[in-house]
Chain A
Amino acid sequence: MSSLSLGRIRALLARYIYVLRSSWPRIAELVYWPAIQMFTWGFLQTYINAQAGAAGFSGRFAVAAGALIGALLLWDSLFRAQLGFSLSFLEEMWSRNMANLLMSPLRPLEFVAALMAMSLVRLVIGVVPVTLLAFWFFGFNLWGLGVAVVAFFVNLVLTSWAIGLFVSGLVLRNGMGAEAIAWSVLFFVMPFACVYYPVTTLPTWLQLLAWSLPPTYVFEGLRALLVTHIFRADLMLEALAINLCMLAAGLVAFLALLDSARRAGSLLQMGE
Protein backbone atom coordinates (compact mmCIF):
# COMPACT_ATOMS: atom_id res chain seq x y z
CA MET A 1 0.00 0.00 0.00
CA SER A 2 1.47 3.34 -1.04
CA SER A 3 1.77 6.38 1.19
CA LEU A 4 -1.21 8.10 2.77
CA SER A 5 -2.60 11.24 1.18
CA LEU A 6 -3.44 14.23 3.35
CA GLY A 7 -5.55 15.57 0.46
CA ARG A 8 -7.84 12.54 0.49
CA ILE A 9 -8.16 12.62 4.30
CA ARG A 10 -9.01 16.34 4.10
CA ALA A 11 -11.58 15.68 1.35
CA LEU A 12 -13.38 13.07 3.44
CA LEU A 13 -13.20 15.21 6.56
CA ALA A 14 -14.77 18.04 4.54
CA ARG A 15 -17.61 15.67 3.62
CA TYR A 16 -18.40 15.08 7.33
CA ILE A 17 -18.12 18.74 8.18
CA TYR A 18 -20.48 19.61 5.31
CA VAL A 19 -23.02 17.18 6.83
CA LEU A 20 -22.63 18.71 10.27
CA ARG A 21 -22.93 22.25 8.92
CA SER A 22 -26.01 21.37 6.90
CA SER A 23 -28.16 20.90 9.99
CA TRP A 24 -28.11 23.07 13.12
CA PRO A 25 -30.10 20.46 15.14
CA ARG A 26 -27.19 18.08 14.59
CA ILE A 27 -24.77 20.60 16.07
CA ALA A 28 -27.15 21.41 18.94
CA GLU A 29 -27.59 17.71 19.66
CA LEU A 30 -23.85 17.35 20.19
CA VAL A 31 -24.10 19.71 23.18
CA TYR A 32 -27.65 18.87 24.26
CA TRP A 33 -27.20 15.37 25.74
CA PRO A 34 -23.93 15.99 27.59
CA ALA A 35 -25.43 19.19 29.03
CA ILE A 36 -28.61 17.43 30.16
CA GLN A 37 -26.59 14.69 31.86
CA MET A 38 -24.28 17.17 33.52
CA PHE A 39 -27.14 19.27 34.88
CA THR A 40 -29.06 16.24 36.16
CA TRP A 41 -26.11 14.79 38.06
CA GLY A 42 -24.81 18.19 39.04
CA PHE A 43 -28.04 19.24 40.74
CA LEU A 44 -28.40 15.84 42.38
CA GLN A 45 -24.92 16.27 43.79
CA THR A 46 -25.74 19.78 44.97
CA TYR A 47 -28.70 18.37 46.88
CA ILE A 48 -26.62 15.57 48.44
CA ASN A 49 -23.95 18.06 49.42
CA ALA A 50 -26.53 20.23 51.14
CA GLN A 51 -27.84 17.24 53.09
CA ALA A 52 -24.31 16.13 53.97
CA GLY A 53 -23.43 19.67 55.06
CA ALA A 54 -26.40 19.69 57.42
CA ALA A 55 -25.13 16.41 58.90
CA GLY A 56 -21.55 17.75 59.24
CA PHE A 57 -19.89 15.80 56.37
CA SER A 58 -19.53 18.62 53.88
CA GLY A 59 -15.75 18.37 53.12
CA ARG A 60 -15.73 14.73 52.10
CA PHE A 61 -18.87 15.13 50.03
CA ALA A 62 -17.50 18.18 48.21
CA VAL A 63 -14.59 16.04 46.97
CA ALA A 64 -16.98 13.27 45.98
CA ALA A 65 -19.06 15.85 44.11
CA GLY A 66 -16.07 16.93 42.09
CA ALA A 67 -15.23 13.31 41.34
CA LEU A 68 -18.75 12.62 40.22
CA ILE A 69 -19.01 15.58 37.85
CA GLY A 70 -15.47 15.04 36.60
CA ALA A 71 -16.18 11.36 35.95
CA LEU A 72 -19.39 12.28 34.21
CA LEU A 73 -17.60 14.73 31.90
CA LEU A 74 -14.85 12.24 31.11
CA TRP A 75 -17.30 9.40 30.53
CA ASP A 76 -19.24 11.60 28.16
CA SER A 77 -16.02 12.47 26.35
CA LEU A 78 -15.37 8.76 25.81
CA PHE A 79 -18.95 8.17 24.67
CA ARG A 80 -19.04 11.21 22.35
CA ALA A 81 -15.66 10.44 20.78
CA GLN A 82 -16.74 6.86 20.04
CA LEU A 83 -20.06 8.06 18.62
CA GLY A 84 -18.21 10.71 16.60
CA PHE A 85 -16.15 7.97 14.99
CA SER A 86 -18.95 5.44 14.52
CA LEU A 87 -21.65 7.88 13.40
CA SER A 88 -19.41 9.38 10.73
CA PHE A 89 -18.85 5.86 9.47
CA LEU A 90 -22.59 5.13 9.64
CA GLU A 91 -23.25 8.27 7.57
CA GLU A 92 -21.71 6.42 4.65
CA MET A 93 -24.02 3.47 5.19
CA TRP A 94 -27.14 5.60 5.64
CA SER A 95 -26.39 7.53 2.46
CA ARG A 96 -25.40 4.37 0.49
CA ASN A 97 -22.10 6.04 -0.34
CA MET A 98 -19.76 3.31 0.86
CA ALA A 99 -19.13 1.77 -2.58
CA ASN A 100 -18.29 5.21 -3.98
CA LEU A 101 -15.61 5.63 -1.29
CA LEU A 102 -14.21 2.13 -1.53
CA MET A 103 -14.03 2.37 -5.32
CA SER A 104 -12.13 5.67 -5.06
CA PRO A 105 -8.37 5.86 -4.40
CA LEU A 106 -9.15 6.43 -0.69
CA ARG A 107 -7.13 3.92 1.33
CA PRO A 108 -8.72 2.24 4.36
CA LEU A 109 -6.16 3.93 6.64
CA GLU A 110 -7.07 7.34 5.18
CA PHE A 111 -10.73 6.53 5.79
CA VAL A 112 -9.89 5.68 9.40
CA ALA A 113 -7.80 8.85 9.80
CA ALA A 114 -10.73 11.00 8.60
CA LEU A 115 -13.06 9.23 11.05
CA MET A 116 -10.59 9.87 13.88
CA ALA A 117 -10.31 13.53 12.98
CA MET A 118 -14.08 13.86 12.85
CA SER A 119 -14.45 12.20 16.23
CA LEU A 120 -12.18 14.92 17.66
CA VAL A 121 -14.21 17.65 15.96
CA ARG A 122 -17.46 16.30 17.41
CA LEU A 123 -15.84 15.83 20.82
CA VAL A 124 -14.65 19.44 20.96
CA ILE A 125 -18.05 20.77 19.87
CA GLY A 126 -19.93 18.55 22.32
CA VAL A 127 -17.82 18.50 25.45
CA VAL A 128 -15.93 21.80 25.71
CA PRO A 129 -19.09 23.92 26.17
CA VAL A 130 -20.36 21.48 28.81
CA THR A 131 -17.13 21.67 30.80
CA LEU A 132 -17.58 25.44 30.84
CA LEU A 133 -21.19 25.04 32.03
CA ALA A 134 -19.99 22.68 34.77
CA PHE A 135 -17.62 25.37 36.00
CA TRP A 136 -20.24 28.08 35.80
CA PHE A 137 -23.06 26.18 37.53
CA PHE A 138 -21.25 23.84 39.91
CA GLY A 139 -17.80 25.33 40.27
CA PHE A 140 -16.10 22.23 38.86
CA ASN A 141 -13.16 23.29 36.70
CA LEU A 142 -12.06 20.28 34.66
CA TRP A 143 -9.39 22.35 32.90
CA GLY A 144 -8.01 23.35 36.30
CA LEU A 145 -6.67 19.78 36.60
CA GLY A 146 -3.91 20.84 34.21
CA VAL A 147 -1.76 18.36 32.32
CA ALA A 148 -3.72 15.47 33.82
CA VAL A 149 -6.70 16.43 31.66
CA VAL A 150 -4.57 15.95 28.56
CA ALA A 151 -3.55 12.47 29.75
CA PHE A 152 -7.17 11.61 30.55
CA PHE A 153 -8.43 12.81 27.17
CA VAL A 154 -5.67 11.14 25.15
CA ASN A 155 -6.42 7.80 26.77
CA LEU A 156 -10.18 8.09 26.45
CA VAL A 157 -9.99 9.19 22.82
CA LEU A 158 -7.68 6.29 21.97
CA THR A 159 -10.14 3.87 23.61
CA SER A 160 -13.01 5.43 21.67
CA TRP A 161 -11.16 4.99 18.38
CA ALA A 162 -10.31 1.36 19.12
CA ILE A 163 -13.96 0.61 19.91
CA GLY A 164 -15.09 2.66 16.89
CA LEU A 165 -12.86 0.58 14.63
CA PHE A 166 -14.33 -2.69 15.94
CA VAL A 167 -17.89 -1.41 15.60
CA SER A 168 -17.33 -0.01 12.09
CA GLY A 169 -15.77 -3.28 10.98
CA LEU A 170 -18.76 -5.21 12.31
CA VAL A 171 -21.19 -2.91 10.47
CA LEU A 172 -19.11 -3.23 7.31
CA ARG A 173 -19.23 -7.01 7.52
CA ASN A 174 -22.76 -7.52 8.85
CA GLY A 175 -24.63 -4.51 7.49
CA MET A 176 -26.98 -2.19 9.31
CA GLY A 177 -28.14 -5.01 11.59
CA ALA A 178 -25.00 -4.27 13.61
CA GLU A 179 -25.79 -0.54 13.89
CA ALA A 180 -27.24 -0.86 17.40
CA ILE A 181 -23.81 -1.95 18.66
CA ALA A 182 -22.48 1.52 17.89
CA TRP A 183 -24.93 3.02 20.38
CA SER A 184 -24.80 0.39 23.08
CA VAL A 185 -21.29 -1.03 23.21
CA LEU A 186 -19.93 1.49 25.71
CA PHE A 187 -22.79 0.92 28.13
CA PHE A 188 -21.63 -2.68 28.40
CA VAL A 189 -18.16 -1.42 29.34
CA MET A 190 -19.44 1.22 31.79
CA PRO A 191 -20.02 -0.91 34.94
CA PHE A 192 -16.59 -2.53 34.63
CA ALA A 193 -14.74 0.70 33.85
CA CYS A 194 -15.63 1.93 37.36
CA VAL A 195 -16.68 5.38 36.20
CA TYR A 196 -18.33 6.49 39.43
CA TYR A 197 -16.79 4.15 42.04
CA PRO A 198 -13.34 2.74 42.87
CA VAL A 199 -12.22 -0.57 41.35
CA THR A 200 -12.12 -2.06 44.85
CA THR A 201 -15.90 -1.88 44.88
CA LEU A 202 -16.01 -4.74 42.38
CA PRO A 203 -15.62 -8.40 43.38
CA THR A 204 -12.00 -9.51 43.07
CA TRP A 205 -12.58 -11.61 39.94
CA LEU A 206 -14.23 -8.65 38.18
CA GLN A 207 -11.37 -6.35 39.11
CA LEU A 208 -9.21 -8.29 36.67
CA LEU A 209 -11.64 -7.43 33.90
CA ALA A 210 -11.78 -3.81 35.05
CA TRP A 211 -8.00 -3.43 34.90
CA SER A 212 -8.00 -4.72 31.33
CA LEU A 213 -10.04 -1.68 30.29
CA PRO A 214 -8.09 1.57 29.75
CA PRO A 215 -10.92 3.86 30.96
CA THR A 216 -10.66 2.23 34.40
CA TYR A 217 -7.17 3.72 34.77
CA VAL A 218 -8.44 7.14 33.77
CA PHE A 219 -11.28 7.16 36.29
CA GLU A 220 -9.05 5.82 39.05
CA GLY A 221 -6.53 8.50 38.09
CA LEU A 222 -9.20 11.19 38.29
CA ARG A 223 -10.28 10.09 41.76
CA ALA A 224 -6.65 9.94 42.91
CA LEU A 225 -6.09 13.47 41.66
CA LEU A 226 -9.21 14.91 43.29
CA VAL A 227 -8.96 13.04 46.59
CA THR A 228 -5.21 12.88 47.22
CA HIS A 229 -4.05 15.59 44.75
CA ILE A 230 -1.60 13.11 43.24
CA PHE A 231 -1.33 12.69 39.48
CA ARG A 232 -0.88 8.97 38.85
CA ALA A 233 1.31 9.02 35.74
CA ASP A 234 1.84 5.27 36.17
CA LEU A 235 -1.87 4.66 35.63
CA MET A 236 -1.89 6.85 32.54
CA LEU A 237 1.10 5.04 31.04
CA GLU A 238 -0.47 1.64 31.71
CA ALA A 239 -3.69 2.84 30.08
CA LEU A 240 -1.70 4.14 27.11
CA ALA A 241 0.00 0.78 26.66
CA ILE A 242 -3.31 -1.10 26.71
CA ASN A 243 -4.84 1.51 24.40
CA LEU A 244 -2.08 1.12 21.83
CA CYS A 245 -2.63 -2.65 21.83
CA MET A 246 -6.40 -2.16 21.52
CA LEU A 247 -5.98 0.36 18.72
CA ALA A 248 -3.71 -2.00 16.79
CA ALA A 249 -6.19 -4.85 17.35
CA GLY A 250 -9.07 -2.59 16.26
CA LEU A 251 -7.25 -1.64 13.09
CA VAL A 252 -6.43 -5.26 12.27
CA ALA A 253 -10.05 -6.24 12.93
CA PHE A 254 -11.37 -3.38 10.76
CA LEU A 255 -9.15 -4.38 7.84
CA ALA A 256 -9.97 -8.08 8.28
CA LEU A 257 -13.71 -7.36 8.39
CA LEU A 258 -13.41 -5.11 5.31
CA ASP A 259 -11.69 -7.99 3.55
CA SER A 260 -14.39 -10.34 4.75
CA ALA A 261 -17.08 -7.96 3.38
CA ARG A 262 -15.27 -7.97 0.02
CA ARG A 263 -15.28 -11.75 0.11
CA ALA A 264 -19.00 -11.84 1.02
CA GLY A 265 -19.77 -9.38 -1.78
CA SER A 266 -21.77 -7.11 0.52
CA LEU A 267 -20.06 -3.78 -0.23
CA LEU A 268 -22.10 -3.04 -3.34
CA GLN A 269 -25.45 -3.41 -1.60
CA MET A 270 -24.73 -1.50 1.56
CA GLY A 271 -27.24 0.94 2.91
CA GLU A 272 -30.46 1.25 4.82
Chain B
Amino acid sequence: MNEAATATSVIGAGAPETPPVISVRNLRKVFKKVVAVDTVSFDIAGGSTTALLGGNGAGKTTTIGMIMGLILPTSGAVTVLGADMVRERYRVLGRMNFESPYVDMPHRLTVGQNLRVFAGLYGVADAAARIAELARSLALEEFLDRPAGKLSAGQKTRVALAKALINRPEVLLLDEPTASLDPDTADWVRSRLEDYRRERGATILLASHNMGEVERLCDRVIMLKAGRIVDDGGPTTLIAKYGRETLEDVFLDIARGRAAAAP
Protein backbone atom coordinates (compact mmCIF):
# COMPACT_ATOMS: atom_id res chain seq x y z
CA MET B 1 0.00 0.00 0.00
CA ASN B 2 1.36 3.41 -0.90
CA GLU B 3 -0.59 6.31 0.42
CA ALA B 4 2.01 8.78 -0.84
CA ALA B 5 0.39 8.58 -4.27
CA THR B 6 -2.81 9.93 -2.76
CA ALA B 7 -1.09 13.22 -2.07
CA THR B 8 -1.18 14.10 -5.75
CA SER B 9 -4.83 13.20 -6.18
CA VAL B 10 -7.86 15.05 -5.06
CA ILE B 11 -9.74 13.92 -2.00
CA GLY B 12 -13.09 15.63 -2.00
CA ALA B 13 -12.53 18.87 -3.88
CA GLY B 14 -9.62 20.97 -5.09
CA ALA B 15 -7.15 20.69 -7.94
CA PRO B 16 -4.38 18.09 -8.26
CA GLU B 17 -0.79 19.18 -8.84
CA THR B 18 -0.55 17.19 -12.07
CA PRO B 19 -3.41 16.61 -14.49
CA PRO B 20 -5.41 13.61 -13.29
CA VAL B 21 -5.47 10.49 -15.45
CA ILE B 22 -9.15 10.01 -14.66
CA SER B 23 -11.39 12.95 -13.92
CA VAL B 24 -15.04 12.55 -12.95
CA ARG B 25 -17.19 15.65 -12.59
CA ASN B 26 -20.74 15.75 -11.21
CA LEU B 27 -21.43 12.37 -12.72
CA ARG B 28 -25.02 11.27 -12.52
CA LYS B 29 -26.83 8.28 -13.96
CA VAL B 30 -30.54 7.67 -13.70
CA PHE B 31 -32.06 4.43 -14.99
CA LYS B 32 -35.75 5.22 -15.48
CA LYS B 33 -36.54 6.47 -11.95
CA VAL B 34 -33.61 4.85 -10.14
CA VAL B 35 -30.65 7.10 -9.39
CA ALA B 36 -27.67 4.74 -9.73
CA VAL B 37 -24.94 7.37 -9.48
CA ASP B 38 -25.68 10.73 -7.92
CA THR B 39 -23.44 13.72 -8.63
CA VAL B 40 -20.13 11.98 -8.09
CA SER B 41 -16.83 13.85 -8.55
CA PHE B 42 -13.27 12.66 -8.11
CA ASP B 43 -9.86 12.79 -9.75
CA ILE B 44 -7.40 9.92 -9.94
CA ALA B 45 -3.70 10.59 -10.19
CA GLY B 46 -1.41 8.71 -12.56
CA GLY B 47 0.31 5.62 -11.16
CA SER B 48 -2.13 5.16 -8.29
CA THR B 49 -4.45 2.31 -7.43
CA THR B 50 -7.89 3.44 -6.30
CA ALA B 51 -10.82 1.35 -5.13
CA LEU B 52 -14.49 2.11 -5.50
CA LEU B 53 -15.93 0.43 -2.45
CA GLY B 54 -19.57 -0.04 -1.61
CA GLY B 55 -22.32 -2.56 -1.11
CA ASN B 56 -24.51 -4.04 -3.82
CA GLY B 57 -26.24 -1.28 -5.77
CA ALA B 58 -23.86 1.40 -4.50
CA GLY B 59 -23.06 2.46 -8.07
CA LYS B 60 -19.55 1.02 -8.48
CA THR B 61 -20.08 -0.89 -11.72
CA THR B 62 -22.17 1.92 -13.22
CA THR B 63 -19.42 4.43 -12.40
CA ILE B 64 -16.77 2.19 -13.99
CA GLY B 65 -19.08 1.64 -16.98
CA MET B 66 -19.32 5.41 -17.49
CA ILE B 67 -15.55 5.81 -17.13
CA MET B 68 -15.14 3.19 -19.88
CA GLY B 69 -17.71 4.95 -22.03
CA LEU B 70 -19.94 1.85 -22.17
CA ILE B 71 -22.65 3.66 -20.22
CA LEU B 72 -23.67 7.20 -21.13
CA PRO B 73 -24.08 9.51 -18.14
CA THR B 74 -27.36 11.30 -17.59
CA SER B 75 -25.27 14.36 -16.76
CA GLY B 76 -21.74 15.23 -15.76
CA ALA B 77 -18.44 14.50 -17.44
CA VAL B 78 -15.70 11.86 -17.47
CA THR B 79 -12.27 12.35 -18.97
CA VAL B 80 -9.59 9.67 -19.20
CA LEU B 81 -6.08 10.61 -20.32
CA GLY B 82 -7.56 13.94 -21.36
CA ALA B 83 -10.29 12.50 -23.60
CA ASP B 84 -13.99 13.07 -23.01
CA MET B 85 -15.35 9.52 -22.74
CA VAL B 86 -18.72 10.43 -24.23
CA ARG B 87 -17.44 12.12 -27.37
CA GLU B 88 -13.84 11.04 -27.99
CA ARG B 89 -13.31 7.71 -26.28
CA TYR B 90 -11.70 6.13 -29.38
CA ARG B 91 -8.80 8.51 -28.94
CA VAL B 92 -7.74 6.71 -25.75
CA LEU B 93 -9.32 3.24 -25.76
CA GLY B 94 -6.07 1.77 -27.10
CA ARG B 95 -4.30 3.00 -23.95
CA MET B 96 -6.88 1.49 -21.60
CA ASN B 97 -8.20 -1.98 -20.85
CA PHE B 98 -10.52 -3.67 -18.42
CA GLU B 99 -11.46 -6.92 -16.78
CA SER B 100 -14.73 -8.00 -15.27
CA PRO B 101 -16.00 -11.38 -14.08
CA TYR B 102 -19.28 -10.54 -15.84
CA VAL B 103 -17.63 -10.43 -19.25
CA ASP B 104 -16.18 -13.57 -20.85
CA MET B 105 -13.79 -14.43 -23.62
CA PRO B 106 -15.21 -16.47 -26.54
CA HIS B 107 -15.41 -20.02 -25.20
CA ARG B 108 -14.76 -21.88 -28.42
CA LEU B 109 -11.54 -20.07 -29.18
CA THR B 110 -8.35 -21.31 -27.60
CA VAL B 111 -6.55 -19.05 -25.17
CA GLY B 112 -3.91 -18.33 -27.81
CA GLN B 113 -6.54 -17.49 -30.46
CA ASN B 114 -8.34 -15.18 -28.04
CA LEU B 115 -5.15 -13.34 -27.21
CA ARG B 116 -4.21 -13.05 -30.90
CA VAL B 117 -7.64 -11.56 -31.69
CA PHE B 118 -7.37 -8.98 -28.91
CA ALA B 119 -3.77 -8.21 -29.83
CA GLY B 120 -5.10 -7.44 -33.33
CA LEU B 121 -7.96 -5.32 -32.00
CA TYR B 122 -5.55 -3.29 -29.85
CA GLY B 123 -3.01 -3.05 -32.64
CA VAL B 124 -0.23 -4.69 -30.62
CA ALA B 125 2.79 -4.58 -32.91
CA ASP B 126 4.74 -7.48 -31.40
CA ALA B 127 1.72 -9.69 -30.79
CA ALA B 128 3.48 -13.07 -30.70
CA ALA B 129 6.19 -11.82 -28.34
CA ARG B 130 3.66 -10.06 -26.12
CA ILE B 131 1.46 -13.17 -25.89
CA ALA B 132 4.51 -15.30 -25.03
CA GLU B 133 5.54 -12.78 -22.37
CA LEU B 134 2.05 -12.72 -20.82
CA ALA B 135 1.76 -16.50 -20.99
CA ARG B 136 5.04 -16.74 -19.09
CA SER B 137 4.22 -14.14 -16.44
CA LEU B 138 0.65 -15.35 -15.89
CA ALA B 139 1.54 -19.07 -16.08
CA LEU B 140 -0.66 -19.64 -19.12
CA GLU B 141 1.82 -21.45 -21.36
CA GLU B 142 0.22 -24.87 -20.94
CA PHE B 143 -3.27 -23.47 -21.67
CA LEU B 144 -2.56 -21.57 -24.88
CA ASP B 145 -4.00 -24.34 -27.07
CA ARG B 146 -6.95 -25.10 -24.81
CA PRO B 147 -10.44 -23.67 -25.51
CA ALA B 148 -11.18 -20.81 -23.12
CA GLY B 149 -14.51 -22.40 -22.18
CA LYS B 150 -12.77 -25.46 -20.77
CA LEU B 151 -10.72 -23.62 -18.17
CA SER B 152 -11.37 -23.42 -14.43
CA ALA B 153 -12.52 -20.13 -12.87
CA GLY B 154 -8.97 -19.32 -11.76
CA GLN B 155 -7.53 -20.07 -15.19
CA LYS B 156 -10.22 -17.97 -16.86
CA THR B 157 -9.35 -15.05 -14.59
CA ARG B 158 -5.72 -15.33 -15.59
CA VAL B 159 -6.70 -15.34 -19.27
CA ALA B 160 -8.94 -12.32 -18.73
CA LEU B 161 -6.04 -10.59 -17.01
CA ALA B 162 -3.78 -11.45 -19.95
CA LYS B 163 -6.37 -9.88 -22.27
CA ALA B 164 -6.54 -6.82 -20.00
CA LEU B 165 -2.76 -6.41 -20.14
CA ILE B 166 -2.28 -7.32 -23.83
CA ASN B 167 -1.87 -3.67 -24.91
CA ARG B 168 0.25 -2.63 -21.90
CA PRO B 169 -2.53 -0.25 -20.77
CA GLU B 170 -1.78 2.97 -18.97
CA VAL B 171 -5.22 2.80 -17.37
CA LEU B 172 -6.62 -0.47 -16.08
CA LEU B 173 -10.23 -0.71 -14.93
CA LEU B 174 -11.09 -3.79 -12.91
CA ASP B 175 -14.53 -4.82 -11.74
CA GLU B 176 -14.16 -7.26 -8.85
CA PRO B 177 -10.93 -8.73 -10.24
CA THR B 178 -10.78 -11.64 -7.80
CA ALA B 179 -14.48 -12.45 -7.46
CA SER B 180 -15.13 -16.21 -7.16
CA LEU B 181 -11.44 -17.07 -6.89
CA ASP B 182 -9.96 -19.20 -4.13
CA PRO B 183 -7.73 -17.26 -1.68
CA ASP B 184 -4.51 -18.61 -3.18
CA THR B 185 -5.41 -17.69 -6.76
CA ALA B 186 -6.81 -14.32 -5.64
CA ASP B 187 -3.56 -13.55 -3.83
CA TRP B 188 -1.59 -14.55 -6.93
CA VAL B 189 -3.71 -12.24 -9.15
CA ARG B 190 -3.19 -9.34 -6.71
CA SER B 191 0.57 -9.89 -6.86
CA ARG B 192 0.48 -9.73 -10.66
CA LEU B 193 -1.50 -6.48 -10.52
CA GLU B 194 0.99 -5.00 -8.05
CA ASP B 195 3.85 -6.08 -10.32
CA TYR B 196 2.19 -4.54 -13.36
CA ARG B 197 1.57 -1.21 -11.67
CA ARG B 198 5.13 -1.08 -10.35
CA GLU B 199 6.71 -1.99 -13.69
CA ARG B 200 4.54 0.18 -15.96
CA GLY B 201 3.44 3.01 -13.66
CA ALA B 202 -0.13 2.24 -14.66
CA THR B 203 -3.20 3.79 -13.08
CA ILE B 204 -5.61 1.21 -11.70
CA LEU B 205 -9.22 1.76 -10.69
CA LEU B 206 -11.02 -1.21 -9.25
CA ALA B 207 -14.44 -1.95 -7.85
CA SER B 208 -14.41 -4.53 -5.11
CA HIS B 209 -16.23 -6.01 -2.17
CA ASN B 210 -13.06 -7.53 -0.84
CA MET B 211 -11.63 -5.36 1.94
CA GLY B 212 -8.40 -7.31 2.24
CA GLU B 213 -7.80 -6.82 -1.45
CA VAL B 214 -8.46 -3.10 -1.20
CA GLU B 215 -6.22 -2.67 1.84
CA ARG B 216 -3.42 -4.48 0.10
CA LEU B 217 -3.62 -2.96 -3.38
CA CYS B 218 -5.00 0.52 -3.01
CA ASP B 219 -3.59 3.91 -2.15
CA ARG B 220 -7.03 5.35 -1.93
CA VAL B 221 -10.58 4.24 -1.28
CA ILE B 222 -13.69 6.00 -2.52
CA MET B 223 -16.65 4.80 -0.48
CA LEU B 224 -19.98 4.78 -2.31
CA LYS B 225 -23.41 4.36 -0.85
CA ALA B 226 -26.64 4.66 -2.83
CA GLY B 227 -24.76 6.26 -5.70
CA ARG B 228 -23.04 8.95 -3.63
CA ILE B 229 -19.51 9.32 -2.31
CA VAL B 230 -19.76 9.07 1.44
CA ASP B 231 -16.04 9.08 2.19
CA ASP B 232 -12.72 9.21 0.42
CA GLY B 233 -9.20 8.62 1.64
CA GLY B 234 -6.31 6.24 2.11
CA PRO B 235 -7.18 2.92 3.76
CA THR B 236 -5.21 3.62 6.94
CA THR B 237 -6.57 7.18 7.09
CA LEU B 238 -10.13 5.90 6.86
CA ILE B 239 -9.49 3.23 9.48
CA ALA B 240 -8.11 5.86 11.84
CA LYS B 241 -10.90 8.30 11.02
CA TYR B 242 -13.57 5.78 11.99
CA GLY B 243 -11.58 4.56 15.00
CA ARG B 244 -11.61 1.02 13.65
CA GLU B 245 -9.12 -1.80 13.19
CA THR B 246 -9.92 -2.88 9.65
CA LEU B 247 -11.38 -1.46 6.49
CA GLU B 248 -14.18 -4.01 6.76
CA ASP B 249 -15.28 -2.37 10.03
CA VAL B 250 -15.20 1.02 8.31
CA PHE B 251 -17.27 -0.41 5.45
CA LEU B 252 -19.85 -1.73 7.92
CA ASP B 253 -19.97 1.61 9.75
CA ILE B 254 -20.66 3.40 6.49
CA ALA B 255 -23.12 0.80 5.23
CA ARG B 256 -25.06 1.03 8.51
CA GLY B 257 -24.94 4.80 8.63
CA ARG B 258 -22.57 5.21 11.59
CA ALA B 259 -20.54 8.42 11.52
CA ALA B 260 -16.76 8.66 11.74
CA ALA B 261 -15.28 8.93 15.22
CA ALA B 262 -14.76 12.46 16.58
CA PRO B 263 -11.18 13.67 16.05
Contacts and interface: CB of A to CB of B under 8 A. Distances in A.
Interface residues on A, range: 35 or more
Interface in B109-129: 109-110, 113, 116-123
Interface stretch (A42-50, A78-86, A101-109, A235-243): A101-109
A1 B109 contact: no
Interface in A231-272: 259, 262-265, 267-269, 271
Interface in A1-38: 1-2, 5, 7-8, 10-12, 14-15, 18-19, 22-23
Contacts of B76: none
Nearest to A269: B102
23 contacts: A8-B121, A11-B120, A12-B120, A14-B113, A14-B117, A18-B108, A18-B117, A95-B105, A97-B105, A98-B103, A99-B70, A99-B103, A100-B163, A102-B70, A103-B69, A103-B96, A103-B97, A103-B98, A104-B93, A265-B62, A265-B65, A268-B65, A271-B104
A20 to B, nearest CB: 9
Identify which of A92, A259, A267 gathers the most chain B CB atoms within 10 Å of its CB. A267
Contact of B72 (A8, A105, A259, A271): A259
Contacts of B123: 5, 7-8, 105
Given A5-B123, A14-B117, A265-B65, A105 B106 contact: no
A12 B93 CA distance: 17
A39 B204 CA distance: 60
What are the 6 tightest A-B residue pairs by CB atom distance, in nearest-first order? A11-B120, A96-B104, A95-B106, A99-B103, A15-B117, A104-B121
B94 interface: yes
Given A19-B106, A102-B70, A268-B103, A1 B90 contact: yes
Interface residues of B, number: 39
B117 A105 contact: no
A268 B108 CA distance: 21
Contacts of A103: 68-70, 93, 96-98
A95 to B, nearest CB: 4
B22 to A, nearest CB: 15
Contacts of B55: none
A107 B69 CA distance: 13
Contacts of B93: 103-105
B35 interface: no
Contacts of B96: 103
Nearest to B61: A268
B71 interface: yes
A265 to B, nearest CB: 4
Contacts of A102: 70
Interface string A197-220: 000000000000000000000000
A40 to B, nearest CB: 31
A106 to B, nearest CB: 5
A265 B71 contact: yes
Given A19-B106, A95-B104, A265 B29 contact: yes
Contacts of B110: 18
A100 B94 contact: no
Interface string A63-82: 00000000000000000000
Interface string B121-139: 1110000000000000000
